Structure 1
Amino acid sequence: MLNGNPDIKIFAGSSGVAFAKKMCAYLGADLGASEVIHFSDGNIFIRIKETVRDKDVYVVLPIGLDPNNELVELLFWMDSFKRASASSVTAIVPYFGYAKGDKKDEPRVSIRARVCADCLETAGADRVITMDLHSAQVQGFFKIPVDHLLSLPILCEYIKGMDIMENLVVVSPDAGFAKTARKYADYLQLPVAIGDKTRTDHDENAHILELIGNVEGKNCMIVDDFSISGGTLIDVAHMLKARGAKRIVAVLGHIMLREKGVKAINESPIETVISTDSVENPFIIGQKKFQTVSVAPLFAEAVYRIHERESVSTLFSTVPQKLKDDLKESCGK
């Protein structure tokens, strides 16, 4: 826990309470008093129950498993704080779901990430802190500062404490994620293999056509930014097994699986799925194949540094020693 700073005001949206409480525990701060009411007709009502006049406030709410309601709620939070005379309002969005809509890649479609960025700015956001955007270019959709944190260092430190490191290969499910897979490999000093994936529509089904790299007799770690259905991970796992791979784990920045995806993973050759708590996912609770690593301390560290007018850049590539110690402890070391 850092030295408590009473001037740091952290509030939580409906699906961000658990994450915000972990941040507060790290910062030695109290969670801001507020309430959210969801009326039976679908309307959302926000009430801030303490003064925030001239305060720098931070509100935690992922745009995750209920993206449309969460986005609208986040906009109402921004507006509420601005109307309550907060000095600045920072939106902490551990998972920015609409970042997938980052381009117009076919006629007559919306660039959804840009629409969301415009809405957040118009509603009053002064800054955004997020993690593992589907495409880093989404930062450029905002005219306000965006701190794009990475789960990679946290996940890599956690993986170092596992018993799968010997003879391990990092596997990218497609060429598009190969650059990030290489960063995993460089951090852990491991080789890389790359899958050749094709997707023909928006039905969340992709197909793995080929694998570049040698995995015979090796342990494999499939890495990706998120998974919605688990289909790509499972296809890659089956191909790895066909190529002679031994143990297979998957590592994700965000986990968006629901019942069907969790069931498919449980029936697949994947031994373990390691992901962050960027989204509070009830569908993986109690599932033995799933392990969760908290990135709330990483966000808390970013908030502390921003609040103290310190640099955040070192968090993009290294893990503070306190977080390393906590990760070692969680791995039983």
Structure 2
Amino acid sequence: MSNLKIFSDLSHPELAKEICAELQMPLGQANIQIFSNGNPIVEIQECVRGSDVFVIGTQAPPASENFISFCILINALRYASARRITAVIPYLFESRSDKKDRPRIAIVSRLVAQMLETSGINRAIFIDLHAPQIQGFFRLPTDTINGAGLICKFLKQRDLSNYVIVAPDAGEAKKLHPFQELMPQLPLAMLDKRRYAHDEKPTVHKLIGDVGGKVALIIDDEISSGGTIKEAADFFQRLPANERPSEIRVATTHPILSGNAMSTLNQSGIKELIAINTVPVPETKKQATQFEFHLLSPANIIAKTIEIIHT
């Protein structure tokens, strides 16, 4: 593919290499260094003049440092005369800060959009944005890849006759339409979850639907602290014996798994976690699981999206 180049910041180099392998092309050469004072410097080490450039970066610790480096990488490519720059962001920085739900707070995801535009992007690609309105924060074309296809393809390799899809809250229930379209035979249940403060301690009040004796498949767009899953599991345990699920399995697009998330998930008693590799999961966390952990690569679908946009 002529004039196509792929670059990556330091946030998820393994995924960038997988995408390049799918495209059968090398990763672009750039030197990204972080000085002892925390300031990054980026140098593009090959000619990109007139090229169609795709830059891969995701929110991964240290998130703020990686985001600034990502913006500087984009700006360096712009000043190196790249013809078009598309940001490929599997997990958008600050995507949970998408509305002003308290006085005197910032809508940070809108600020992120403005910073990316100022850096010099012409287009952006995401996987499962936390809220659809985030696309409206950008004044340029955006594409959102739906992660449901990857997860459903993996799930369809097993017997799903006793499964029920569980939405952890009303907001997530709205996002489950792709799963219902791909697996229409599965019934749907929903938990009434409420969060009374800006913390990671949700409370489940009731269940809408039937999970008694079934495999409860909780689907959430991201898992950060694991608190939502733990509270859902605890709620199920408080139900009468004949109304409890036989086991709990979880699927998510973004396995943030911050802090003590793995310990929290272990305590919840879930049997399985299926996630998409949108952010890097350290090997130490993978080894700390007491449940089945499947990490699905989005490299193929991202590569196909790049090919479509490039052509």
TM bucket (normalised to shorter chain) is over 0.9
Structure 1 Cα separation of the partners of residues 266 and 259 of structure 2: 11
Q: Which residue of 2 aligns with 1:181?
A: 176
Shift of 1:214: 0.6
Q: Which residue of 1 aligns with 2:300?
A: 297
The residue matched to 2:139 in structure 1 has which SS?
A: coil
Structure 1 Cα separation of the partners of residues 209 and 5 of structure 2: 49
| Identical counterparts, % of pairs | 34
2:93, 2:112 within 8 Å by CA — same for their partners in 1? no
1:99 aligns with 2:79: no
Q: Which residue of 2 aligns with 1:327?
A: none
Shift of 1:259: 4.8
2:225, 2:259 within 8 Å by CA — same for their partners in 1? no
1:15 aligns with 2:11: yes
- Written as runs of structure 1 = structure 2, the 5 A alignment for 1:234-249 is 234-241=230-237, 242=239, 243-249=243-249
1:65, 1:256 within 8 Å by CA — same for their partners in 2? no
Structure 2 letter corresponding to 1:255: P
Q: Which residue of 2 aligns with 1:307?
A: 310
- Written as runs of structure 1 = structure 2, the 5 A alignment for 1:47-86 is 47-86=43-82
Which of residues 152, 168, 191 is equivalent to 2:163? 168
Distance 1:122 1:97, change over 3 A: closer
Matched positions, count: 303
The residue matched to 1:98 in structure 2 has which SS?
A: coil
- Written as runs of structure 1 = structure 2, the 5 A alignment for 1:18-167 is 18-163=14-159, 165-167=160-162
Q: TM-score, normalization: structure 1?
A: 0.88
Shift of 1:135: 0.2
Structure 1 alignment gaps of length 5 or more: 309-333
The residue matched to 1:180 in structure 2 has which SS?
A: helix
Q: Which residue of 1 aligns with 2:274?
A: 274
Structure 2 Cα separation of the partners of residues 118 and 277 of structure 1: 26
The residue matched to 1:139 in structure 2 has which SS?
A: helix
Which of residues 185, 193, 196 is equivalent to 1:197? 193
The C-alpha deviation readout for 1:80-120, integer Å capped at 9, x for no partner, is 00110000111111001312111111111101011010111
Structure 1 Cα separation of the partners of residues 4 and 16 of structure 2: 12
Higher mean C-alpha displacement, 34-43 vs 236-245: 236-245
Shift of 1:65: 3.2
Shift of 1:247: 1.9
Shift of 1:16: 2.4
Structure 2 alignment gaps of length 5 or more: none
1:255 aligns with 2:255: yes
Structure 2 Cα separation of the partners of residues 22 and 8 of structure 1: 16
Structure 2 Cα separation of the partners of residues 97 and 248 of structure 1: 30
2:67, 2:93 within 8 Å by CA — same for their partners in 1? no
